[in-house]
Amino acid sequence: MQGSSERAGATLTTHATPILAEADRLMTVCNSCRYCEGLCAVFPAMEMRRSFSDGDLNYLANLCHGCGACYADCQFSPPHEFHVNVPRTMAIARGESYARYAWPRALAGLFERNGLAISLACAAAVTVFVAGFVAWHDPAVLFASHEGPGAFYRLMPHNWMVGIFGAAFLYAVLAMAMGARAFWVDIGRPQAGLREVGQAAHDAARLRYLDGGGVGCMNEDEKPTDSRRVYHHLTFYGFLLCFASTSVATVYHYMMGMEAPYPWYDLPVLLGTAGGLGIVAGPIGLLAAKKRRDPALVDRERLGMDVGFLVMLLLTGLTGLALLVLRATPAMGLLLALHLGVVFALFLTLPHGKFVHGLYRTLALVRYARERRLIAEGKAGET
Ligand code: SF4
Ligand code: SF4
């Protein structure tokens, strides 16, 4: 992308990085053209501006859902000399923005080496769990059958599980909260109320802007499909159901004195099974959709980050479902160690991988909802 800001129509504005300069150039071209204004939220938000600060461009990059429709529709896309490729430019700018907002700062580089970081963290976590089990007990415990309430805690005490996973979860929440704060400051600390948050949550929950203006996402064969949105829904709602399962199990344990594992018809198992199926089917579908995607749209440098996160979700679902099916057999100990290791690594890497896209995109939608409301009320120019 080096030097691309010197292509036809380039602006002379100074930006922190070459990709932001390129995004500025493209937004200036698009602002003159406006052919794509009905496709998504990015173009209407762009039209509210005449110039673009780094914060504006990071906002627009995170508002983009990467459907590819504006590339397929563009009369200035390569080989035209204007070389307009909004989806890929926004994808790279978006990926770079994740590192920019990262907390702690020392870990910002993980966004560049994410696939490797996830694999190493996962392998280390599984090894520690298995070694911890074996060291804590007679190694035979790991390969024995355990049944009835409290069976899992014969391998690892419940309080240890809560302490270790609670710490990893709190770290993930703190790191993402700090990242969200940095993003909000960068995009100008817009004022936003419950109405904007509600609108953004509604748009994010439906993936309203991942539909390419109504036809679906673009693929290499130029036949748009809605499969990315469907598989993304399966993944996202599967993840939420797994979280709900864990929350209900926590209530069972502390408020009702009922210890896991629970019967198959009980709420934590039903929620966990549905969620597990979602985070198996969704990532498989998204990985397959990646193969069909037009390479011109893809940020190849961060492909490992996307794939790493999807593989971690897939492993979480597979190990969780295997544990459910085989929990009354001697395989339970090893499967529990594997599942806990994968989930622990997933928690630790949440703030340093693809998961953060949902956070920044939702915040960008909050700002967009605010801007739309101000325009509707005739107060454009306020923030
Ligand atoms: S992407 Fe191309 S067609 Fe769409 S607004 Fe920009 S310049 Fe125009
Ligand atoms: S890729 Fe899709 S969401 Fe992104 S700017 Fe283009 S049309 Fe909008």
> Which pLDDT score is estimated for 45?
97
Give the position of tokens 């101000």. Answer: 374
Residues 117, 309 contacting (CB under 8 angstroms)? no
Going by alpha carbons, the residue nearest to atom 4 of ligand 1 is 36
Q: What is the pLDDT of residues 170-182, one digit of tens each?
A: 999 999 999 999 9
The model's confidence at residue 13, banded by pLDDT at 50, 70 and 90, is low
Q: Cβ neighbours of residue 115 under 8 Å, at least 6 residues apart?
A: 304, 305, 307, 308
Mutate to test the pocket of ligand 1, among 26, 34, 35, 75 (most ligand atoms within 8 A of CB): 35
> Which pLDDT score is estimated for 2?
38
Mean pLDDT, the chain, rounded, equals: 91
Task: Please tell me the number of the ligand nearest to residue 84's CA.
Answer: 1
The model's confidence at residue 383, banded by pLDDT at 50, 70 and 90, is low
Query: What span, in angstroms and rounded, lies between the C-alpha atoms of 50 and 46?
Result: 8
Using the 8-state DSSP alphabet, how is residue 293 labeled?
A: S
Q: Where are the alpha helices (DSSP H) in 77-193?
A: 86-101, 114-136, 139-142, 158-186
Going by alpha carbons, the residue nearest to atom 6 of ligand 1 is 30
What are residue 308's phi and psi, to 5 degrees?
A: -60, -45
First to last CA, the chain: 32
Q: What is the pLDDT of residues 39-59, one digit of tens each?
A: 999 999 999 999 999 999 999
Residues 306, 245 contacting (CB under 8 angstroms)? no
| Number of the ligand 1 atom closest to the C-alpha atom of 71 | 1
> Which pLDDT score is estimated for 209?
92
Ligand 1 centroid – CA 287 distance (Å)? 28
Mutate to test the pocket of ligand 1, among 46, 70, 71, 80 (most ligand atoms within 8 A of CB): 70
Going by alpha carbons, the residue nearest to atom 8 of ligand 2 is 40
Query: What span, in angstroms and rounded, lies between the C-alpha atoms of 31 and 338?
Result: 51
Query: What span, in angstroms and rounded, lies between the C-alpha atoms of 192 and 171?
Result: 26
Q: What is the pLDDT of residues 304-343, one digit of tens each?
A: 899 999 999 999 999 999 999 999 999 998 899 889 989 9
* Crossing angle for the helix pair 356-376 and 158-186, to the nearest 10 degrees: 40
Residue 361 tokens, joined: 């995109």
Residue 302 tokens, joined: 């961060």
| Any atom of ligand 1 within 6 Å of the Cβ of 183 | no
Using only the alpha carbons of the chain, give its radius of gyration: 23
Residue 7 tokens, joined: 């292509």
In angstroms, the Cα distances linking 304 to 30, 101, 158, 185, 310 are 30, 19, 35, 28, 10
Task: Please tell me the number of the ligand nearest to residue 298's CA.
Answer: 2
Query: What span, in angstroms and rounded, lies between the C-alpha atoms of 283 and 76?
Result: 33
| Number of the ligand 2 atom closest to the C-alpha atom of 66 | 1
Residue 51 tokens, joined: 């110039």
> Which pLDDT score is estimated for 8?
44
Query: Which of 25-29, 114-118, 341-345 has the lowest average pLDDT?
Result: 114-118
pTM: 0.91
* Crossing angle for the helix pair 86-101 and 54-63, to the nearest 10 degrees: 110
Query: Which of 117-121, 335-339, 345-349 has the lowest average pLDDT?
Result: 117-121
Give the position of tokens 């963290």. Answer: 121
What are residue 207's phi and psi, to 5 degrees?
A: 50, 50
Q: What is the pLDDT of residues 230-248, one digit of tens each?
A: 999 999 999 999 999 999 9
Cα torsion 183, 186, 189, 195: sign: negative
Residue 59 tokens, joined: 């906002």
Q: Cβ neighbours of residue 35 under 8 Å, at least 6 residues apart?
A: 73, 74, 75
Give the position of tokens 């979280």. Answer: 243
For residues 266-305, one letter each, b for 16 or more C-beta atoms within 10 angstroms of the residue's C-beta and e for the rest, the string is bebbebbbebbbbbbbbbbbbeebeeebbeebbbeebebb
